[in-house]
Every structure is written in structure tokens, then in C-alpha cells.
Amino acid sequence: MRGGWTGKLLRVDLSKGKSVVQDLDPKVAVDFLGGRGFAVKTLWDELPRGTDPLSPENLLILATGPLTGISMPSSGKLVVAAKSPLTGGYGDGNIGTRASVQLKKAGYDAVIISGKAEKPSILSIENDKVEIKDGRDLWGLDTYKAQEELERQYGKNSGILVIGPSGEKLVKFAVITSEKGRAGGRPGIGAVMGSKNLKAVVIRGSKEIPLADPKEVAKLGAESFKDIKSKDNYDFWVRQGTMATVEWANANAALPTYNMSEGVFDGYDKVGGNAMEKIYKIGQKGCPNCNMPCGNINEIKEGPYKGRDTEVDYENIAMLGPNLGIDNMNWALTLNLIADEAGVDTISLGSVLAFATEAMKRGLISEGDAGLKLDWGNGQAYVELAKKIVNKEGFGSILAEGVAYASQKIGKGSEKFAMHVKGLEISAYDCHAYIGMALAYGTSPIGAHHKDAWFISYEIREGRGVVSEERAKKLIWMQNVRGGFFESAAACRLPWVEVGYDLEWYPKFLKAATGLDYSWDDLQIIANRIYTLMRAFWVREKGGWSRSLDTPPAKWFEEPQTKGPLAGSKLNRDDYEKMLTWYYENRGWDQNGIPRKSTLRRLGLDWVIPELERVVSLNE
């Protein structure tokens, strides 16, 4: 390997207190790139079927890719992955953090953490020096305080990953956080870290990242940073970032409102990008190597957290604002800060709060059951319940298991409005009117996340509600670019998605970094391989598959939107089934969503066949 990859993996066994450095198999690097690709390959190879996600046997994987840390726009991303305690399937997330660059500079492409430390611990990686240190002093601290303390001890430029009290207490949607405001691992990767008694990972590196052609990387980097700054919407992006999506989603009847019952919200403008810019925004933050920083720091102006600040994106505000009927930005910001400090996912938090409210409004749970009265827009009550969830107290401990579990516990038909797919709460787009986006959620390989395909923007541009094989193929292409390439090269996708930075730059950077010629056709094949292996992992865990696991909740099919420009919209089941059939066919999976033998062979995954055949019979 000439560059891009360091060629080394660090394995840490917390039970034994030992670490070992291994060579990265060059074929794995070439065929799976890194990040998500490495993670799913490792979990498939090493995790026995049925492993309890919160047991010491689960593996916590921190993985970079060949583009991470190089002089390329927005290359400071790290994938965190494990078998998910929330979904029971493959789970991962993506964090913009100094830890990504520091890991490459320390000389590793990935860290694979197994076992469980005897007592709360910190994993410290400084180049070749790897230590498991006593972390008891930090246990119990929120993510902000833990971050501050670690920066004081190890220096501000260290790469720091921490969990909060929710990760320690194994809240099923706990995340890993970094630098007060970056978070990743929606499917409970923070709980996996907590189950290992691992409070933090601190990484410091001082080596050069190996590159096949360092001059070419520097040249492409300089041109690219300039190119990004010249884009028409650069200034607006830096001012509002993802928050402009609030107004856009409302205009297109996709803003999640009242537990995703509606797509428009009366008070949207009070919690939108414009209001943020005018009233609440006090600062700006970005990930490493990014010249289009989008971290919006906002000040809370009223309420119990008055004067504190918190970093927000669209998903956070949409799920903790309109989805709860909240039109006062201060409450949405307060809930966001509670989530970040405790270290839970804001999307899942917004979803379980909204689910509980709907259950109460439908008379399925009482004030006595919940310990308080929930009503749309009542920020005070949501703050109270959010604190119970992040600390697993009373009724909060049921919601802390996620919306799928809570709906099973409550029963009485509440599954219909438990807004999740495969156990992961749906991120912030209402899909009553968007069958393509509904399919994107249905088939996302970690559960309902928009990261694999923000198909709704394509649907709005090219025509809403189209049911065709072309659409299913386009969705696969988009998933492959976003969830296959960006999650595995481990770079931020937003330069491409948001300011129109050309995809053609990426093969050039790959060539300059690794010396290998990847075309976009090659990258599509790699992505197909990764998606098919992720599906194989799920199938092995479940002992089979069913189309219902790739289908959004009944609410979107049965209860139309009642307000806004698309009032009356709902999904049609027959149309959804048609789209799902085309999706499976074009992925080379059978009509139950299980990869075909011929597909596994074509993608170089023939070694998966014998093991998969132990749990399910495969079609040719």
C-alpha cells in the first residue's frame, strides 16, 4: 500500500488490558475502503451470531478511511460502529472530530475494542503508546465536563471521544460525542462503549499520513478549498448550515410535526434557520479540514438553561421542536443541550417524547403511567421527561429502550405510530407524500436514517410520488454514493450535497492518496458489496428476513396529513411493495430481501455463502 491507508489496525482487549497492532490486509483495504466497509467486514468475520450487543464480546470499532485526515475538504470524519443494542443489527454513526485525524496520525486506520474493563477507564492512544487508564474520576460526568477535563489533562488538540451518563447507564440510543456538539452512533453505539466501562478514548498522533503522491494531494486540496469558497450558496450555507432545512421542509410538507402526523407546522418560522440567524446564533464551529463550517452555536435566551449555548443542526431542532409541537426555540435548544450533555441521540429522543405524547392523547397511557401530563408544545414537561429518559428513571426507563420497545410494552395498537424502521427511530422527514424517501428509510442499512439517502431532495426536484423502477435504481445509486462511498472513505458528504462540490474530485483524491485508480463504477461495486454484506449481517442475526422489516410504520399508510399544501397525502401500500420489489431486484436480493448466491459471488462475497446458509436457504 502506497498511501491513504496507514496499513495498521489497533486491537484493544479491555478485559485483558492488552493491545496489539496488526497489519491491515491490503485486499480488505482495496475491496472495502475503510470506515463502514471495515466495520461490517470485521463484525461479519468476528462476531458470533446472537452476541449480546451490551456484552463484552461485542466489538466497538472506530474506523477512518483512505481520505480521512488528508488535505481535502471536510476530511475529518470518523465512523463508530458495533452490533446495535437498539436494533440488534449492524449499527454505526459518523462523527466530525479531531479524533479522526489524530488516529491516522497515530498510525492506525482503525481501532477494534473488545472486552470490558474492570473499572471505568480511558483508552489513551499516543502513537505507539497505548494505555488503559483509570477513568473513575470522570465516570458520571456529563459529556461537556468530561471533554473539558480531558482537554485539560491531554491538551486541546487531542482527539477526544466521550460518553455521557446515558452511555454509562446503557440508554439504548446513547451516542458517542466529541468537542461539545459533535455526536455519532445513533443506534446506541454510546451504550456499547458504556457497557465496556469505557468513558473516553483520547488519541494523539504525530506521524505523517502516508500518501502515494503528497504533491498531488496538496495541489488538489488547494484547488478544492478554493472551489468550495467560490460556490454560489457558500455564504448562506456558512450562515445557516443545515438549519435552512426547517423552512424548506415546511414548504414541502415534510417537516415532522406531532409525531410525524403532519408535514407543516404553524410556528415553523420561530424555530427555523432565519430565526436562528437573527436571534439565537452566537458562533460557528466546524470539523477538522473543513472550510464550509456548519456547526451553529446558539444561545438559550429563556428558561432553566438561560445563558447556556448549544450547537444545533436541522435534525435536532425538527425533532425537538415541531415534532413535539414546540414553536419556542428556547425549549428546543434546551432539549438539545440535555441530549448532548447526557449523550443521547436527539432524533430518537424527539421520537420517543412524541410517541409518548401521542399515546397519551389517544388514551393508551395515563398521566399516572407517565408521571406527568404531556401535551404538544409543553416544553417544560418535555424537559422533565427528557431528564428521566437520559437517567433511566420511572417511565423514562421505558422510553430509554427506544420507541419499538416502548410500543411493544404499551401495546394496544401503538405500534402503528411508533415511528421507526428496524428499531431505529425515523429521522426528521415526514414521508406521507414521499414514497421515494419512505423507501430510503425502509431500506437504510442501520434502520431509518436519512444518512444513506436524502432522497426527498431528489424527489422534490424531479417529481414527487413517482412509482417506477428508475426511482428504485436512483435510490440505490444514491445510497451507494452516500452510505457506501462517503461512509467508507470516511469524509463528509456535505460539500457535494450542499454546495455542489463535484463528485469527480473524489477519484482524483483517492488516486493521489492511495495510488489506485478507482472510477465511480468501481466505487459503486464496492458500495454494493458493503450494502450486501450489511444485509447478510442482519439476515444472519435474524435467522431470515421479511419485507415488513424494510417497511415504514402504518401511520404513513393509513392516516393522511390533514393540513398544508399536500393535505390528504398518504403512502399507498401496493405502490410501496412495487418499489420494494424493484429495489430488491436491482440489489440482487430475492423477494424476501435476502441476497442471492449469484449476487454474493458477483460481489466477491462467496465466503459469506456457507455461513449464511446455516441460518437460511439462499436462492440462486
Residues 6+ apart with CB under 8 A from 202: 122, 123, 124, 125, 150, 154, 158, 159, 160, 161
Give the separation between CA 448 and CA 446, rounded to whole angstroms. 7
Q: Please report whether residue 179 would count as binding ligand PTT according to CB under 6 A.
A: no
Q: Decide: is 99 part of the binding site for ligand SF4 (CB under 6 A).
A: no
**4 counts as binding ligand SF4 under rule CB under 6 A:** no
Distance CA 103, CA 619 (A): 42
Q: Among 35, 37, 53, 96, which residue interacts with ligand SF4 (rule: CB under 6 A)?
A: 96
> Which parts of 494-533 interact with ligand PTT (CB under 6 A)?
494
Interaction between residue 262 and ligand PTT (CB under 6 A): no
Q: What is the distance between the alpha carbons of residues 618 and 314, in angstroms, rounded to a whole number? A: 41
State which H helix or E strand residue 31 sits in.
Answer: helix 26-32
DSSP string, 449-493: -TTS--HHHHHHHH-TT--SHHHHHHHHHHHIIIIIIIIIII--S
In angstroms, give the least distance from the CB of 22 to ligand PTT: 25
Give the three-class secondary structure for 105: helix
Q: Which of 492, 527, 549, 608 binds ligand PTT (CB under 6 A)?
A: 492
494 lines the binding site for ligand SF4 (CB under 6 A): yes
Region for residue 569 given its phi and psi (left: phi exceeds 0; alpha: psi -120 to 50; beta: otherwise): beta
Number of H helices, E strands in the chain: 27, 17
Nearer to ligand PTT by Cβ, of 180 and 597: the residue is: 180
Q: Assess 389 for contact with ligand SF4 (CB under 6 A).
A: no
Minimum CB–partner distance for residue 500 and ligand PTT (Å)? 15
Residue 83 sits in the site that holds ligand PTT (CB under 6 A): no
Among 142, 315, 327, 459, binds ligand PTT (CB under 6 A): 315
CA distance 84 to 139: 22
Backbone Cα Rg of the chain: 22
One of 93, 288, 350, 447 touching ligand PTT (CB under 6 A): 93
Under 8 Å between Cβ of 603 and 465: no
HEC profile of 193-260: HHHCCEEEEEEECCCCCCCCCHHHHHHHHHHHHHHHHCCCCHHHHHHHHHHHHHHHHHHCCCCCECCC
3-state DSSP of 116-184: CCCCCEEEEEECCEEEEEECCCCCCCCHHHHHHHHHHHHCCCCEEEECCHHHHCCCCCECEEECCCEEE
Strand-pair category, 129-134 with 60-63: unpaired
Check binding of 69 to ligand SF4 (CB under 6 A).
Answer: no
The footprint of ligand SF4 on residues 281-310 (CB under 6 A) is 286-287, 290, 292-295
Q: Which does residue 101 touch among ligand PTT, ligand SF4, none (CB within 5 to 8 A, set by kind)?
A: none
327 contacts ligand PTT (rule: CB under 6 A): no
Q: Which is nearer to ligand SF4, 339 or 492 (CB)?
A: 492
Answer with the entry of ligand SF4, ligand PTT, none that 292 interacts with (C-beta below 5 to 8 A by kind): ligand SF4
C-alpha–C-alpha distance, residues 160 and 162, integer Å? 7
* Binding of ligand SF4 by 184 (CB under 6 A): no
User: What residue 451 binds from ligand PTT, ligand SF4, none (CB within 5 to 8 A, per partner kind)?
Assistant: ligand PTT
Q: Pick what 530 binds: ligand PTT, ligand SF4, none; C-beta below 5 to 8 Å, kind-dependent.
A: none
Q: Does 316 bind ligand PTT (CB under 6 A)?
A: yes
| Near ligand SF4 in 393-432, by CB under 6 A | none
CA 462 to chain centre: 26
- Considering beta carbons, is residue 113 or 183 the nearer one to ligand PTT? 183
Smallest distance from ligand SF4 to CB 584, Å: 32
Helix axis angle for 520-542 and 573-587, nearest 10°, is 110
Interface with ligand PTT, residue 425, by CB under 6 A: no
DSSP state of 93: E
Part of the chain binding ligand PTT (CB under 6 A), chosen from 93-101, 397-405, 564-572, 588-596: 93-101
Q: Which does 345 bind (CB under 5 to 8 A by kind): ligand SF4, ligand PTT, none?
A: ligand PTT
Binding residues for ligand PTT, rule: CB under 6 A, are 77, 93-96, 175, 181-186, 242, 287, 311, 313-316, 339-340, 344-347, 451, 486-487, 492-494
Binding residues for ligand SF4, rule: CB under 6 A, are 74, 96, 286-287, 290, 292-295, 492, 494
